[in-house]
Amino acid sequence: DTTWARDSLYMGLVLSDWSPDGTRLAFIVSVALVTINADGTGAEEIGDSLACKWAPDGKRIAIADFLTQGLWTADPDGSYPYLLAQTVDWDNRDKPINQIAYNSLGYDVPGPAWSPDGKKIVFTSLWDGNPEIYVVDRDGKNLTRLTRNLAYDLNPVWSPDGTMIAFSSNRDGNFDIFVMRADGSQQVKVAHSAVSPAWASGAK
């Protein structure tokens, strides 16, 4: 009902994402991934998630799954889920990603981000022991690590033209904003004391 939708939207607003056509909203309530119409009707729980992002064409949703600690994609109704990458090496870790993210980092688990052409997804993973940024094709191929250091590299965001990625890192002590090329090269600090990068429309 409308009250449930309003209260739930408030709880999940930070981890929400509109479909490209603006007709449905995906958001997180506790660890449940819910989609709902723009007018508050048609709420549907489609899975468990820590973060989500619609594909540019609106046909798939990238999901940082709570139960499996993996990066998945699925249709907007939750059907046809496909595992792209594990975000934690369960053979070598004794704490799930949500405990590390909320208790140690003090930030929400960084969500996945689609490239503007919808062909790749960039995300943060703890696979190598600390938060690093990776990119993978939408079909799960060509998984590539982009950052390599002992710091926390988080919150990757594609530039509108898809050639650059902005992210936050505490490699110099405090969290600052860096940019790098889409292949991980030329990592440069561009802003101090910030954790949430965003690109201006039309920026390169």
Structural domain includes residue 111: yes
Structural domain includes residue 61: yes
pLDDT at position 98 = 37
User: Is the pLDDT reported for residue 56 higher than 70?
Assistant: yes
Structural domain includes residue 89: yes
Structural domain includes residue 202: no
pLDDT at position 121 = 94
**Residue range 83-120, pLDDT digits in tens:** 888 766 555 544 443 333 332 333 444 579 999 999 99
Give the CB-side neighbour count of residue 124, counting CA atoms within 13 A.
28
**How much is the average pLDDT of 118-144?**
89
Domain that holds residue 23: 2-191
Q: What CATH number does the domain containing 25 carry?
A: 2.120.10.30
Report the side by side order of strands in the sheet with 188-191: 153-158, 164-169, 176-181, 188-191
Residues above pLDDT 70, as percent of the chain: 80
